[in-house]
Amino acid sequence: MKPFTAVIADDEALARERIRTLLEPFSRVQVAAEAGNGKDALAAINEHRPALLFLDVQMPEMDGFAVLQELDPNDLPCVVFVTAYDEFALRAFEVHAVDYLLKPFTRQRFERAMEHALQVLDQSRLSQVTPRLLSLLQSVAAEGPLRDRIAIRAEQGIYFLRVSNIDWVEASRNYLRLHAGGQQHVLRETLKKFQERLDPARFLRVHRSVIINIDFIQRLEPWFHGEYMVVLRDGTQLTSSRNYSEQLRALLR
């Protein structure tokens, strides 16, 4: 039977290793390359032209959707998305994608995804799947601001957090810590991308690593060199940086 090459793109080394290990029984599939960010994934795809692509949706540099949008729409691989998206978003994958793996996934779920992907490749049905994938990319490009709730995966299950209840957000590399009502929730996303999806009339960036909900500001205290100490209702004190202080001064006006 015809062999196929694959590329694994995921920013978590353990996730890439797990996919590579689970692929071992599928001798027809040879891993041509791995990538830990979107730019490297794009380069690997263009170099190896894989038949099969395991693509993490959320990656640094470029997310999975941005990677696909850079590819020739007439030469897309068979894509199996690897995602931590919430149940609402998964319905889009069910409609548009060849298959998807919701982290954390089991061996059995991986095997079902592989059976589906190989069936598509063996029967040369990729031309039927590609329009659905392009439709998904169009819907992502047209995505508006965040919905009223964010689904956050944790060991205990999925937490649903109202965006309006977020007091402030701090960034730590490719993760965010959402502070809300005295609790903290970790979300795997960059601050820049998260800010683009927030309502700018409600959320304000005051530092390269901090966004605040202006509804939760209690007072502003002048600080050094034109900066401000932002005091929130719960007593949290956050210092603005000079580059973002003008936006705070606009609030005073």
Query: Any idea which residue has 């502070």 for tokens?
Result: 179
Same domain, 164 and 237: yes
Question: End of a domain among 110, 141, 172?
Answer: 141
For residue 32, give both structure tokens. 């041509």
Contact partners, residue 198, CB within 8 Å, separation at least 6: 145, 146, 163, 211
For residue 77, say if its preceding peptide bond is cis, omega within 30 degrees of 0. no
Q: What is the pLDDT of residue 140?
A: 59
Same domain, 136 and 34: yes
Same domain, 69 and 185: no
Residue 49 zone, left/alpha/beta (φ > 0; ψ -120 to 50; rest): left
Same domain, 56 and 118: yes
Phi/psi of residue 93, each to 5°?
-65, -40
Same domain, 44 and 137: yes
Same domain, 74 and 195: no
Cβ distance 232 to 238 under 8 Å?
yes
Q: What is the pLDDT of residue 1?
A: 76
Question: End of a domain among 95, 122, 141?
Answer: 141
Cβ distance 35 to 61 under 8 Å?
no
Question: End of a domain among 141, 171, 192?
Answer: 141
Q: What is the pLDDT of residue 72?
A: 86
Same domain, 87 and 171: no
Domain that holds residue 124: 4-141
Q: What is the pLDDT of residue 88?
A: 45
Q: What is the pLDDT of residue 157?
A: 59
**What are the helix (H) ranges across the chain?**
13-23, 38-48, 64-69, 87-96, 107-122, 126-141, 191-196, 245-252
| Burial 183-219, CB ≥16 within 10 A → b, else e | eebebbbbbeebeeebeeeebbbbbeebbbbeebbee
Average pLDDT, consecutive stretches of 10 residues, N- to C-terminus, the chain (253 residues): 92 93 95 95 95 88 83 87 67 68 88 91 77 70 58 66 90 88 86 83 89 90 80 90 75 63
Domain count, the chain: 2
pTM for the complete prediction?
A: 0.59
CATH number at residue 223: 2.40.50.1020
Q: What is the pLDDT of residue 222?
A: 81
CATH number at residue 69: 3.40.50.2300
Same domain, 37 and 18: yes
Cβ distance 28 to 4 under 8 Å?
yes
Same domain, 30 and 108: yes
